[in-house]
């Protein structure tokens, strides 16, 4: 860490005008208000990182099929119905009308259309494939017609404003601002990643409507309204402000600062118990964004305190949190190993927040978390057989993942899933003026345009700890290559440059720094030792999960007791994930006799199996949790 800090100090003085920021296109002049914060490191634009073949790329490709299979008309149907726009059958409906949380009687309808606009934008940026842009263009065009037909000061929604009125009046309603946030965010992503000016125009009009709507709201109404879930709409309004320079949107961002939940964090109080996790997390992302724009203020330290509190006291070994969507008592993991843990949206939002905080500090703890949650939760959220995604990641021994259906679920986690699987390239590499940081080991190719340098990363990680980098450069280029030596590793990492061993004095949790004039064809090979280790719950040292490197291993428990449609959700019951009966058969083993033994003696690799192990005494087969699908599993064991 020490080395990195000294490098960073030098770099702050050298930061060049026009460096990319957290959001794509900032360097292309898409933001009128430039960020005042000079971050420690910058993201690369998604289009500069191409995934090579791996589980991540395969997930992304399955997601593409799903994204393309849902017709634009289907996604516009509820909006058009709300506006009384006759849509005819132009272009035809692909399949039946979408249902679940997108049904015409669901108060959240429209959220998927927003997520899909984001998903298509991210997918277009990640692949350059025009199909994603063409599809998004037609959705944006359809939304413009709806906004015009509604003719309500710029309001745009798949439900009438009545839902917003109910929210302002403190009457029961699901989460109308949450839904509007997804639409707004999708439109902004269309502008940033696909240069769709019409999308920005629609978003700006929505902002103008929101300003007019909320300006007269009293302090009492505001505090009542903000008790309801509103997603990360504050972040979208801050972005809209930075893009347009219109201070009304900044006012809106600040309007959504909820004193009740955020002020105690300022004082360092953990008040998370019983709070709805996914309502809470994005409030902090908005604060972080405000901090970037302003370059000052307390928002970032509140966000950092929140992040530490969630990670240290409210999370499972997978990087997920919550039980039935709510934070539990600090450090009470072992009391919450239920079938309803780990909402996927929470992880999606924690990863978003993590990226902001990492860019501000370059602190490796953020990257360690990012890897943990990405590999153990997000990668495994998708069923590789069907491309469907899970809402929860259950920790109940003997439970299994419960997957959505293609057109009848559309839960929040299906929506955020459309984004999750499209942006695997966003956190692999970071940079500042002279340094390149390799944070994640995912087969990929980076193009660093300002340096006229390409870096190809080839790896089978996490099947083994070996990674090979190949430099492509038309002429020699100076670059400080920082390769993350992950905290989960142990002493003994090896590094070779062009076949020659380089001595490694680093310890895990630091960056290995290679400062050279890089030539075309230079090769760097690194190997990080991976070992088996235990991670106990905070409240019970004898209740622990088994990991290999950063990968959570789970015991495979078969499919006994599955009753159709298990492991899929019942398409007739849109919320069955919440009361799902796992029919866990009696006698699922939950204890391991490994206490006192050397872990590598008690758990042995299975010959020929990728990341497959067996406990010597019980004969239980362990595999990565991300890879266990359509089958029961056990993550946390009683260690005896
Ligand atoms: Zn969700």
Expressed in angstroms and rounded, the spacing between residue 431 Cα and the centre of ligand 1 is 32
| pLDDT over threshold 50, residue 499 | yes
Q: What is the pLDDT of residue 162?
A: 98
Mean pLDDT of the chain: 93
Query: Tokens standing for 42?
Result: 């910058």
Expressed in angstroms and rounded, the spacing between residue 279 Cα and the centre of ligand 1 is 10
Expressed in angstroms and rounded, the spacing between residue 612 Cα and the centre of ligand 1 is 30
Expressed in angstroms and rounded, the spacing between residue 330 Cα and the centre of ligand 1 is 22
Q: What is the pLDDT of residue 49?
A: 97
| pLDDT over threshold 70, residue 404 | yes
- How much is the pTM? 0.95
pLDDT tens per residue across span 541-576: 999 999 999 999 999 999 999 999 999 999 888 888
Expressed in angstroms and rounded, the spacing between residue 194 Cα and the centre of ligand 1 is 26
Q: What is the pLDDT of residue 141?
A: 97
Q: What percent of the chain has pLDDT over 90?
A: 91
Expressed in angstroms and rounded, the spacing between residue 325 Cα and the centre of ligand 1 is 8
* β-strand pairing of 444-448 with 453-459: antiparallel
Expressed in angstroms and rounded, the spacing between residue 489 Cα and the centre of ligand 1 is 32
Q: Tell me the H-state helices in 195-276.
A: 197-214, 219-225, 233-244, 247-255, 259-266
CA distance 75 to 600: 52
Q: What is the pLDDT of residue 93?
A: 52
| Residues bordering ligand 1, an ion, CB closer than 5 Å | 343, 345, 412-413
DSSP-derived 3-state class of residue 448 = strand
CA distance 287 to 253: 9
Expressed in angstroms and rounded, the spacing between residue 389 Cα and the centre of ligand 1 is 11
Looking at per-residue pLDDT, the higher value among 40 and 597 belongs to 40
Expressed in angstroms and rounded, the spacing between residue 196 Cα and the centre of ligand 1 is 28
Expressed in angstroms and rounded, the spacing between residue 344 Cα and the centre of ligand 1 is 5
The interaxial angle of helices 299-313 and 364-373, nearest 10 deg, is 50
| pLDDT over threshold 50, residue 186 | yes
Expressed in angstroms and rounded, the spacing between residue 341 Cα and the centre of ligand 1 is 11
Expressed in angstroms and rounded, the spacing between residue 412 Cα and the centre of ligand 1 is 4
| pLDDT over threshold 60, residue 91 | no
Expressed in angstroms and rounded, the spacing between residue 342 Cα and the centre of ligand 1 is 9
* β-strand pairing of 494-497 with 523-527: antiparallel
Expressed in angstroms and rounded, the spacing between residue 480 Cα and the centre of ligand 1 is 40
Expressed in angstroms and rounded, the spacing between residue 347 Cα and the centre of ligand 1 is 9
CA distance 499 to 206: 57
Expressed in angstroms and rounded, the spacing between residue 416 Cα and the centre of ligand 1 is 7
pLDDT tens per residue across span 307-358: 999 999 999 999 999 999 999 999 999 999 999 999 999 999 999 999 999 9
pLDDT-based confidence at residue 9 (cuts at 50, 70, 90): very low
Which residues, other chains included, contact 129 with Cβ-Cβ below 8 Å and sequence gap of 6+? 64, 123
pLDDT-based confidence at residue 365 (cuts at 50, 70, 90): very high
Spatial strand order of the sheet with 523-527 comes to: 49-51, 444-448, 453-459, 466-473, 523-527, 494-497, 500-502
Q: What is the pLDDT of residue 502?
A: 96
Q: What is the pLDDT of residue 575?
A: 85
Expressed in angstroms and rounded, the spacing between residue 206 Cα and the centre of ligand 1 is 24
Q: What is the pLDDT of residue 135?
A: 97
pLDDT-based confidence at residue 88 (cuts at 50, 70, 90): low
Run of H or E including 289: helix 277-294
Query: What mean pLDDT do residues 144-170 have?
Result: 97
The interaxial angle of helices 344-361 and 364-373, nearest 10 deg, is 160
Expressed in angstroms and rounded, the spacing between residue 349 Cα and the centre of ligand 1 is 10
Expressed in angstroms and rounded, the spacing between residue 294 Cα and the centre of ligand 1 is 30
Query: Tokens standing for 322?
Result: 């919550």
pLDDT-based confidence at residue 414 (cuts at 50, 70, 90): very high
Nearest to 287 by CA among 278, 276, 298, 277: 298
Which residues, other chains included, contact 13 with Cβ-Cβ below 8 Å and sequence gap of 6+? none
Nearest to 547 by CA among 490, 632, 618, 509: 490
| pLDDT over threshold 70, residue 482 | yes
pLDDT tens per residue across span 419-434: 999 999 999 999 999 9
| pLDDT over threshold 90, residue 269 | yes
pLDDT tens per residue across span 196-227: 999 999 999 999 999 999 999 999 999 999 99
Expressed in angstroms and rounded, the spacing between residue 413 Cα and the centre of ligand 1 is 4
Query: Tokens standing for 164?
Result: 């917003």
The DSSP symbol for 585 reads P
Q: C-alpha angle 130/136/141, rounded to 5°? A: 125
pLDDT tens per residue across span 593-626: 998 889 999 999 999 989 999 999 999 999 999 9
Q: What is the pLDDT of residue 2?
A: 31
Expressed in angstroms and rounded, the spacing between residue 30 Cα and the centre of ligand 1 is 30
pLDDT-based confidence at residue 522 (cuts at 50, 70, 90): very high
Query: What mean pLDDT do residues 295-300 have?
Result: 92
Query: Tokens standing for 522?
Result: 């230079």
| pLDDT over threshold 90, residue 20 | no
């Amino acid at each position: 860490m020490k080395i990195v800090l000294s490098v960073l100090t030098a770099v702050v003085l050298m930061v060049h005008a026009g460096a990319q920021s957290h959001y794509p296109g900032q360097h292309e002049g898409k933001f009128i208000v430039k960020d005042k914060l000079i971050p420690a490191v910058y993201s690369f634009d998604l289009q500069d990182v191409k995934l090579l073949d791996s589980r991540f790329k395969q997930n992304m490709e399955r997601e593409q099929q799903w994204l393309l299979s849902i017709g634009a008309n289907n996604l516009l149907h509820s909006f058009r119905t709300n506006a009384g726009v006759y849509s005819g059958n132009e272009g035809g409906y692909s399949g039946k009308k979408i249902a679940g949380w997108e049904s015409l009687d669901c108060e959240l309808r429209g959220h998927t259309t927003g997520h899909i606009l984001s998903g298509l934008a991210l997918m277009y940026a990640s692949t350059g494939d025009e199909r994603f842009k063409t599809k998004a263009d037609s959705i944006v065009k359809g939304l413009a017609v709806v906004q015009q037909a509604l003719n309500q000061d710029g309001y745009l929604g798949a439900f009438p404003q009545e839902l917003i009125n109910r929210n302002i009046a403190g009457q029961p309603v699901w989460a109308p601002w949450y839904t509007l946030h997804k639409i707004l965010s999708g439109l902004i992503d269309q502008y940033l990643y696909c240069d769709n000016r019409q999308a920005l125009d629609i978003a700006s009009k929505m902002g103008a409507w929101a300003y007019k709507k909320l300006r007269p709201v009293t302090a009492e109404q505001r505090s009542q309204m903000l008790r309801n879930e509103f997603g990360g709409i504050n972040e979208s309004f801050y972005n809209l402000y930075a893009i347009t320079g219109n201070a009304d949107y900044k006012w809106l961002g600040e309007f959504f600062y909820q004193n009740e939940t955020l002020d105690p964090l300022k004082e360092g109080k953990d008040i998370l118990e019983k709070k709805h996790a996914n309502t809470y997390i994005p409030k902090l992302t908005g604060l972080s964004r405000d901090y970037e724009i302003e370059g000052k203020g307390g928002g970032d330290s509140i966000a950092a305190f929140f992040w530490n509190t969630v990670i240290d006291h409210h999370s499972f070994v997978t990087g997920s949190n919550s039980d039935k969507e709510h934070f539990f008592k600090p450090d009470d993991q072992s009391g919450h190993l239920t079938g309803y843990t780990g909402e996927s949206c929470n992880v999606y939002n924690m990863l978003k927040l993590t990226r902001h905080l990492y860019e501000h500090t370059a602190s490796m703890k953020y990257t360690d978390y990012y890897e943990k949650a990405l590999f153990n939760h997000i990668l495994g959220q998708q069923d590789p057989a069907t491309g469907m995604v899970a809402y929860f990641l259950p920790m109940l021994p003997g439970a299994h993942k419960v997957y959505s259906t293609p057109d009848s679920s559309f839960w929040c986690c299906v929506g955020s899933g459309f984004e999750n699987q499209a942006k695997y390239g966003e956190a692999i590499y970071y940079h500042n003026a002279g340094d390149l940081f390799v944070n994640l080991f995912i087969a990929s190719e980076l193009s660093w345009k300002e340096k006229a340098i390409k870096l190809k990363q080839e790896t089978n990680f996490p099947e083994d700890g070996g990674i090979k980098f190949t430099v492509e450069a038309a002429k020699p280029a100076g670059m400080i290559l920082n390769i993350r030596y992950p905290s989960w590793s142990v002493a003994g990492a090896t590094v070779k440059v062009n076949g020659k061993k380089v001595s490694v004095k680093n310890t895990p949790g630091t960056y290995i720094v290679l400062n050279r004039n890089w030539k075309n064809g230079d090769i760097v090979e690194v190997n990080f030792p991976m070992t088996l280790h235990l991670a106990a719950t905070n409240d019970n040292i004898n209740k622990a999960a088994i990991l290999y490197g950063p990968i959570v291993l789970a015991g495979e428990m078969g499919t006994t007791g599955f009753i159709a449609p298990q492991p899929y959700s019942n398409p007739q019951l849109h919320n069955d994930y919440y009361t799902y009966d796992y029919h866990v058969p009696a006698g699922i083993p939950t204890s391991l006799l490994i206490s006192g033994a050397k872990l590598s003696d008690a758990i042995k690799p299975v010959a020929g199996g990728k990341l497959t192990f067996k406990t010597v005494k019980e004969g239980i087969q362990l595999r990565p949790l991300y890879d266990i699908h359509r089958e029961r599993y056990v993550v946390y064991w009683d260690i005896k």
